[in-house]
């Protein structure tokens, strides 16, 4: 079994989307538990790291959020593995803007986006939400202008080919290997 990760795809997308202002980018973990994931993306794109620390008084309710790190004047990129109703994600975007961020974007591997999520994202201070197609997006998700979907198919296809050829699947975590696979996606 081989695990495939969205971090290399997200790194390519960030480097393409923010190519003219990469020095302003700061990667943000939306909670302490996601720091390793956010650090991985930050290392790939050579960006600083910040954390949104959330405190809960009871399950399902965020009582307080605090930004750890200086985000003033930064283009913040929240990275997380899953987003369901988008309440915490949208609140984290607000907290980052209140702390002086110039823009907030989010990269989420699995966009469940159930219930009020689409409406929350549409009305959020978050400029864009980028998700993979690991979960089939609804028509509402596809129609939302500030949600963008990055395909996983090129990486899966290459992983299958590498397995069939008996070559390394982990090579797909290397930017030099993944870049040509996604060239067509970014040349549109």
Higher pLDDT, 188 or 100: 100
pTM for this one? 0.92
- Give Dmax over CA atoms of the chain in angstroms: 52
Mean of the pLDDT values across residues 102-106?
A: 98
Question: Which residues on adjacent β-strands are paired with residue 108?
Answer: 80, 131
Mean of the pLDDT values across residues 126-140?
A: 97
pLDDT over threshold 60, residue 47: yes
In which band, very low, low, confident or very high, does the pLDDT at 55 lie, cut at 50, 70 and 90? Answer: confident
C-alpha distances (whole Å) from 4 to each of 7, 49, 80, 138, 173 are: 9, 23, 15, 23, 8
User: What does the pLDDT look like over 143-152, one tens digit per residue?
Assistant: 999 999 999 9
Q: 3-state class of 167 per DSSP?
A: coil
Arithmetic mean of pLDDT over the chain:
92
Burial classification of residue 57, based on how many CB atoms lie within 10 Å of its CB (0-12 exposed, 13-18 middle, 19 or more buried): exposed
Q: Among residues 76, 121, 80, which one has the least CA distance to residue 99? A: 76
Three-point CA angle 143, 30, 108, nearest 5°: 35
Active site residue 72: no
Residues 6+ apart with CB under 8 A from 23: none
Question: Which residues on adjacent β-strands are paired with residue 132?
Answer: 150
In which band, very low, low, confident or very high, does the pLDDT at 173 lie, cut at 50, 70 and 90? Answer: confident
Full set of structural domains in the chain with CATH: 7-152 (3.40.50.2020)
Q: Among residues 83, 40, 72, 81, which one has the least CA distance to residue 175? A: 40
- By residue count, the chain amounts to 188
Pick the catalytic residue: 54, 58, 127, 142?
Answer: 54
């Amino acid at each position: 079994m081989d695990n495939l990760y969205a971090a290399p795809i997200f790194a390519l997308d960030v480097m393409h989307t923010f190519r003219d202002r990469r020095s302003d980018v700061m990667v943000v973990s939306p909670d302490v538990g996601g720091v390793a994931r956010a650090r991985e993306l930050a290392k790939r794109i050579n960006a600083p790291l910040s954390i949104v620390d959330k405190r809960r008084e009871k399950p399902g309710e965020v009582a307080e959020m605090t930004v750890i790190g200086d985000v003033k004047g930064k283009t913040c990129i929240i990275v997380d593995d899953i987003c369901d109703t988008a309440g915490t994600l949208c609140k984290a975007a607000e907290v980052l803007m209140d702390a002086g961020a110039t823009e907030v974007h989010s990269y989420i591997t699995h966009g469940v986006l159930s219930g009020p999520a689409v409406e929350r994202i549409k009305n959020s201070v978050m400029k864009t939400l980028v998700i993979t197609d690991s979960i089939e997006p609804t028509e509402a998700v596809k129609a939302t202008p500030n949600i963008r979907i990055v395909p996983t198919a090129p990486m899966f296809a290459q992983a299958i080919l590498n397995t069939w050829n008996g070559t390394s699947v982990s090579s797909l975590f290397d930017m030099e290997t993944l870049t040509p696979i996604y060239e067509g996606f970014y040349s549109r």
